[in-house]
Amino acid sequence: MDTDELAQLDRRIVLATQAGLPLDARPYHWLASELGVDPGLLMDRLRLMLEEGRIRRIGVVPNHYRLGYSANGMSVWEVPDEDIGVIGRQVGELDIVSHCYHRPRRLPDWPYNLFAMVHGHSREEVCDKVEQIAQLLGDRVRRHDVLFSTRILKKTGLRIGG
Amino acid sequence: MDDLDRRIINRLQGEFPVCERPFQMVAERLDTTESELITRIRCMLDDGLLTRFGPLYNAEQMGGALSLCAMKVPEDRFDAVAEQVNSFPEVAHNYQRDHEMNMWFVLAAETAEQLDACLREIEEVTGIPVINLPRKEEYYVGLHFRV
């Protein structure tokens, strides 16, 4: 297969697994036969996509509300741009943080450049965790806030390549 | 949810192997059988305890464009604006948050141009400025919940 054909195959793999992997003892063989390709080639493509980060991981996604993690707070931080790489990695390493991103400031409305999603069983727990982060960062933080979601207005999976 | 379900959830938020009999491989480590593991995953999906089993794609690495956007929506127009914003298929999720910036949504499009066009259209339809906060760098995406 040439590069174009492989790119086409990758796209078909993504589309075929949008709803997930088949719950079959040989899921990749099942998928390969659906797509009419060799199972070895299909598994190689998946391994490559994992290696390149196009696939973050293969596994389960739990419903965190059902697991008791009913409070999620988006903590936002204003930190010096020159330190953000170090601070971002430090915050991202904490096991209480599920996502951590550097985003642009939009002054005057939005001064915060670091976002860290913090999950907990209650708002109090989330606030405690945010305070722990604040203490860890000390005077490198100019100000911070935490935004709780009060309502899910829409939630659909990300559709890719469809 | 029993002890085996918990161990399955904890282990399978890590790596599910790419090989001929991946369930068998994981089952051995969890001290259960291949068929029991498959049945458990199916039950937890049906029950809504799991929302997905499979590859988790990184939309940006796949060539798509993604951004987090925020709006300051007047309270008395909130539901009407939510409906306008949600009507765009590019809006993947949308949350109300308790802040002056009270509407937060994720836009996903095939290209950056399409994303910008959608953003401008939302501003036009609602008459409210949209603050666009595309990610500049990612430090961690774990989404790992221990049970």
Cβ distance of A59 and B13 shorter than 8 Å: yes
Question: Is position B74 within any domain?
Answer: yes
Q: Identify the pLDDT of residue A126.
A: 94
Q: Is B68 on the interface with A (CB under 8 A)?
A: yes
Cβ distance of A99 and B38 shorter than 8 Å: no
Sign of CA dihedral A144, A148, A154, A158: positive
Task: Measure in Å the smallest separation between the Cα of B47 and chain A Cα atoms.
Answer: 10
Long-range contacts of A65-71 (CB under 8 A, 24+ apart): A66/B48, A66/B49, A67/B9, A67/B49, A67/B145, A67/B147, A68/A121, A68/B147, A69/A119, A69/A120, A69/A121, A69/B145, A70/A121, A70/A122, A71/A119, A71/A120, A71/A121, A71/A122, A71/A123, A71/A125, A71/A126, A71/A148
Instruction: Answer yes or no: do B73 and B35 share one domain.
Output: no
Instruction: Answer yes or no: do B78 and B129 share one domain.
Output: yes
Cβ distance of A101 and B53 shorter than 8 Å: no
Q: What is the DSSP string of A56-105?
A: EEEEEEE-TTTTT--EEEEEEEE--GGGHHHHHHHHHTSTTEEEEEE---
Instruction: Answer yes or no: do B71 and B116 share one domain.
Output: yes
Instruction: Answer yes or no: do B72 and B114 share one domain.
Output: yes
Of chain A residues 99-128, which have a CB less than 8 A from chain B?
99-104, 106, 109-110, 115, 119
Nearest to A44 by CA among A60, A28, A33: A28
Q: What are phi and psi of A28, to 5 degrees?
A: -75, -35
- Residue A100 CA: distances (Å) to CA of A121, B51, B132, B141: 19, 22, 17, 7
Question: Is position B115 within any domain?
Answer: yes
Q: Among residues of chain B, what percentage have pLDDT more than 70?
A: 94
Q: Which residue has the higher pLDDT, B116 or A64?
A: B116
Measure the CA–CA gap between B51 and B104, rounded to whole angstroms: 22
Question: Is position B23 within any domain?
Answer: yes
Question: Is position B59 within any domain?
Answer: no
Question: Is position B60 within any domain?
Answer: no
Q: Identify the pLDDT of residue A80.
A: 96
Q: How confident is the model at residue B143 (pLDDT cuts 50, 70, 90)?
A: low
- CA torsion angle B58 A40 A9 A32 (round to 10): -100
Instruction: Answer yes or no: do B104 and B71 share one domain.
Output: yes
Quick check: A149 pLDDT over 90? no
Q: Identify the pLDDT of residue A162.
A: 36
Measure the CA–CA gap between B48 and A28, rounded to whole angstroms: 24
Q: Where do the domains of chain A lie?
A: 3-52, 71-148
Domain extent for B112: 65-133
Per residue in A87-103, pLDDT tens? 999 998 887 888 899 99
Q: Identify the pLDDT of residue B72.
A: 97
Q: What strands, in cross-sheet order, belong to the sheet with A71-78? A: B131-133, B65-71, B103-109, B91-97, A143-155, A71-78, A114-120, A97-102, B137-141
Report the residue of A30, A57, A114 to disrupt the B interface, i.e. the one with the largest count of B CBs within 10 Å: A57
Instruction: Answer yes or no: do B42 and B71 share one domain.
Output: no
Of chain B residues 111-130, which have a CB less than 8 A from chain A?
none
Q: Coil, strand or helix: which one is A7?
A: helix
When divided into structural domains, chain B yields a total of 2
Q: Which residues of A touch B85 (CB under 8 A)?
A: 153-154
Q: How confident is the model at residue B28 (pLDDT cuts 50, 70, 90)?
A: very high
Per residue in B52-110, pLDDT tens? 999 988 877 777 788 999 999 999 999 999 999 999 999 988 999 999 999 999 998 88
Average pLDDT, chain B: 92
Q: Identify the pLDDT of residue A157.
A: 59
Report the residue of B140, B144, B146, B147 to disrupt the A interface, i.e. the one with the largest count of A CBs within 10 Å: B140
Nearest to A129 by CA among A85, A161, A91: A91
Question: Is position B72 within any domain?
Answer: yes
Cβ distance of B72 and A29 shorter than 8 Å: no
- This prediction has a pTM of 0.77
**Fold of the domain built from segment(s) A71-148:** Alpha-Beta Plaits (3.30.70)
Instruction: Answer yes or no: do B73 and B126 share one domain.
Output: yes
Q: How confident is the model at residue A161 (pLDDT cuts 50, 70, 90)?
A: very low
Say which residues have a Cβ less than 8 Å from residue B47's Cβ, sequence separation at least 6.
none
Q: Identify the pLDDT of residue B37.
A: 98
Per residue in A14-54, pLDDT tens? 989 988 999 999 999 999 999 999 999 999 999 999 999 88
For chain A, the maximum distance between any two Cα atoms, rounded to a whole number of angstroms, is 59
Q: Identify the pLDDT of residue B142.
A: 63
Mean pLDDT of A1-21: 91
Cβ distance of A147 and B104 shorter than 8 Å: yes
Measure the CA–CA gap between B52 and A21, rounded to whole angstroms: 9
Question: Helical H runs in chain B?
Answer: 3-12, 22-29, 34-47, 78-86, 112-126
Q: Identify the pLDDT of residue A56.
A: 87
Q: Identify the pLDDT of residue B145.
A: 63
Question: Is position B32 within any domain?
Answer: yes
Question: Is position B52 within any domain?
Answer: no
Q: How confident is the model at residue B141 (pLDDT cuts 50, 70, 90)?
A: low
Quick check: A147 pLDDT over 70? yes
- Give the DSSP letter of residue B101: S
Nearest to B130 by CA among B96, B95, B93, B103: B103
Instruction: Answer yes or no: do B70 and B117 share one domain.
Output: yes
Q: Coil, strand or helix: which one is A125?
A: helix
Quick check: B122 pLDDT over 70? yes
Measure the CA–CA gap between A2 and A47, rounded to whole angstroms: 18
Instruction: Answer yes or no: do B81 and B110 share one domain.
Output: yes
CATH number at residue B93: 3.30.70.3460
